[in-house]
A and B are shown apart, each in its own frame.
Chain A
Amino acid sequence: MTTSSLRCVGIGGRLIGLIAVAALVGCASIPKDALVPTPDSLERRQLQSRRLDGISEANLLAASAGVLQDLGFNIDESETRLGVIVASKDRSAWNAAQITAAVALALFGAYYPVDKTQKIRVSLVTRPALAADGTPRPDSQILRITIQRLVWNMENQLTRIDSIEEPAVYQEFFDRLSKSIFLELQEI
């Protein structure tokens, strides 16, 4: 056996090892802390929530639906009696860096499927803020949004499934919402 064929066996062995690990991960059961609030839960809640005064829950939901539309989302589900709007959008996931890497690999005869499409899902939930005596206030609401993203590559394989936690994304949403509420209240 030559050195190069030995190397091939080594790589093949490692590949089999990797596949075995991937199969194990695929079969693994639910992570221990999947349903336990983490230490950063509070921070995340603050990032994803705002209190909005001087607006009813129904008007806030209408304004929120408008902002989601401004951002190109389609409404998938809603249950206004529970303060819930669910929306999503499908967008391209082409990424210049990935394409460059794929082209470079292709030059050496290797194939690397780059990310093609992504779905961004949002759930927007409102609830009345509580007065000092614990009763819901009709004119003050707490709104929380949670966003997640799924990315598929050219082979239609899921390559990423995660929650969006970048503060700038939430800040942008709330900025737009406050402008929209202004319009809504002014009925322009």
Chain B
Amino acid sequence: MHSYRTVAALLCAAMLIGCAPSTAVIMGAEQSAVQLRSYQQRAFDTADKTQTLRSVISTLQDLSFVVDKADLDLGTVSATKLSGYQLRMTVTARPRGTNQMLVRANAQYMDKAVEDPKPYQDFFTALEKSMFLTAHQVD
């Protein structure tokens, strides 16, 4: 009887640990902010925020995404691609100096952050074509 109670208590403890929102999951990225930004953001030689965001939306549609939200003031677009899997992206555009826009993208595949540089490179290659501008690496 006593051992049953111990097992039950252990199980409860395990369940609590499993359900507890750990700081690592909420705040965590496996890589540093500097590392993430090195492949998640690019600068474009334009000061036109509206046109930049319109190009982002058009690129996302080309890649079979459906837009979830768009906000010109905040400079963000979120979109989801469903193709047997779920891929969610948020792209932001904000001015960098007086004649550049800084475009930042982050993606989530199923329930995981995408922390592989390649898909971001693919996205910026597609965006470059839509914007008729070169994506500059930002340090």
Give, as a whole number of angstroms, the nearest-CB distance from A145 to chain B.
Answer: 9
Give, as a whole number of angstroms, the nearest-CB distance from A46 to chain B.
Answer: 12
- Give the chain A neighbours of B70 by CB distance below 8 A: 77, 79, 82, 84, 86
Please report which residues of chain B, range 60-88, place their CB below 8 angstroms from some CB of chain A when the two chains form the complex.
61-72, 77, 79-87
Contact B69 A86 (CB under 8 A): yes
Q: Point out the residue from B61, B69, B72, B122 that lies within 8 Å of A36, measured CB to CB.
A: B122
Please report which residues of chain A, range 20-45, place their CB below 8 angstroms from some CB of chain B when the two chains form the complex.
26, 29-37, 41, 44-45
At the interface, yes or no: A56 with Cβ under 8 Å from chain B?
no
| Contacts A/B (CB < 8 Å), 21 sampled | A29-B112, A29-B116, A30-B109, A33-B122, A34-B85, A34-B87, A34-B122, A35-B120, A35-B126, A36-B63, A37-B62, A41-B63, A79-B69, A81-B72, A82-B72, A123-B61, A125-B67, A146-B67, A148-B66, A148-B80, A161-B84
Contact B61 A79 (CB under 8 A): no
Q: What is the CA–CA distance of A48 and B64 in the complex, to the nearest angstrom?
A: 10
Q: What is the CA–CA distance of A95 and B63 in the complex, to the nearest angstrom?
A: 30
User: Which 6 residue pairs of A and B lie closest in terms of their CB atoms, listed nearest first?
Assistant: A123-B67, A161-B82, A35-B122, A30-B109, A79-B70, A84-B70
